[in-house]
Amino acid sequence: MGRNKRPVSHPTETGPQQSQQTGTLDGYLRTPTRQPRAVTGSKMADDRAPAQVPDAQEPSLADIRADIRALIEAMVTKSDLQALSANLHEVIRSEVATLQRDLTAQDGHIQTLEGAQQTAATSIEATNAAVARQGAMLLQIRRQTEDLDNRGCRSNIRIRNIPEAPGEEDVGAMLTDLFRAHKALRPRTTENPPRDIICGLHECTEVTDWVLGPLEQRNHQMAPRAPRRHREDSPQGRQARRYQQPAQQQAHPEVE
């Protein structure tokens, strides 16, 4: 109807469009405008005009300043950094104090353990000394027991090389005037040597001085070797006498 009349499709624009000065942040804060898409139709389509999307409202300078102010207010300030640093210092100081207390407690525990170890070492040394004393006492008791056993055997004599009889033997009748005589018990061997005769002489205090003259004269022709007399000792005593035998042979070579 008239020239220079604004179309109805732009109702928001009330005056001439003015150019706005933008800064460096306008490209990030400005809302992009949408361009209307052209609607293409076929030849058979009607001549209706395509629907136009209204342009989005561009942010004003006041809105941009408000956004920048909000961003600046949201940034960390120096006071915030100081408060954070003070908080960190307080936390570190508390942790260091706790660590120092723990180290002090550990030092006390270590001293206690060292004292217990020293006490245990002293106790072990005392135990070792007691064990050594017990060993010496046990050895002394063993020697005394062997001596008592040997003293009990001093009233016995052992007679060797008495020939065996073909039948049953009356050892008591053969060894007249002897108290409690018997053949020694041992397994027979292939050589079958005569068994020893053990005699108990409780009336005699020292049987080594006793002489079996008549018995030697009676059995001298029967035995291949002359009868010998020995003092009956304990196994430990016989072992000790066996150790002394080389020295005795060197001292008395004439004695068999």
In a domain? residue 173: yes
Give residue 214's pLDDT: 45
Give residue 15's pLDDT: 46
Both 148 and 82 in a single domain? yes
In a domain? residue 145: yes
- Average confidence score pLDDT of the chain: 70
In a domain? residue 15: no
Give residue 190's pLDDT: 76
Predicted TM-score (pTM) of the model is 0.29
In a domain? residue 119: yes
Q: What phi and psi values does residue 110 have, to the nearest 5 degrees?
A: -65, -40
Would you say 180 and 199 are in contact if contact means Cβ atoms under 8 Å apart?
A: yes
What are the angstrom distances between the C-alpha of 191 and each of 187, 188, 194, 220, 235? 11, 8, 9, 20, 24
The number of folded domains in the chain is 2
What is the domain extent for residue 132? 72-152
Both 178 and 143 in a single domain? no
Both 135 and 171 in a single domain? no
Tens-digit pLDDT profile for residues 188-235: 777 777 777 776 665 554 444 454 444 454 444 444 555 555 556 667
Last residue of a domain, one of 114, 135, 152: 152
Give residue 126's pLDDT: 92
Both 158 and 221 in a single domain? yes
Both 189 and 242 in a single domain? yes
The partner residues of 94 in beta bridges, in order of sequence, read none
In a domain? residue 51: no
Count CB neighbours of 115 within 10 A.
Answer: 10
Q: What are 121's two structure tokens? A: 């070492």
Tens-digit pLDDT profile for residues 85-123: 999 999 999 999 999 999 888 888 898 999 999 999 999
In a domain? residue 239: yes
Tens-digit pLDDT profile for residues 24-61: 555 555 555 555 554 454 444 455 545 555 455 677 88
Burial of 237 (0-12, 13-18, 19+ CB in 10 A): middle
Both 142 and 225 in a single domain? no
Both 177 and 147 in a single domain? no
In a domain? residue 89: yes
159 or 76, higher pLDDT: 76
Both 76 and 162 in a single domain? no
125 or 34, higher pLDDT: 125
Of 228, 233, 224, residue with least CA distance to 211: 228
Both 160 and 214 in a single domain? yes
Task: Write the CB contacts of 61 (distance below 8 Å, at least 6 apart in sequence).
Answer: 20
- Of 14-23, 95-104, 237-246, give the range with the top mean pLDDT: 95-104
Last residue of a domain, one of 105, 133, 152: 152
Q: Which CATH number characterizes residue 171's domain?
A: 3.30.70
Would you say 214 and 194 are in contact if contact means Cβ atoms under 8 Å apart?
A: no
Last residue of a domain, one of 99, 133, 152: 152
In a domain? residue 109: yes
Give residue 127's pLDDT: 92
Give residue 9's pLDDT: 47
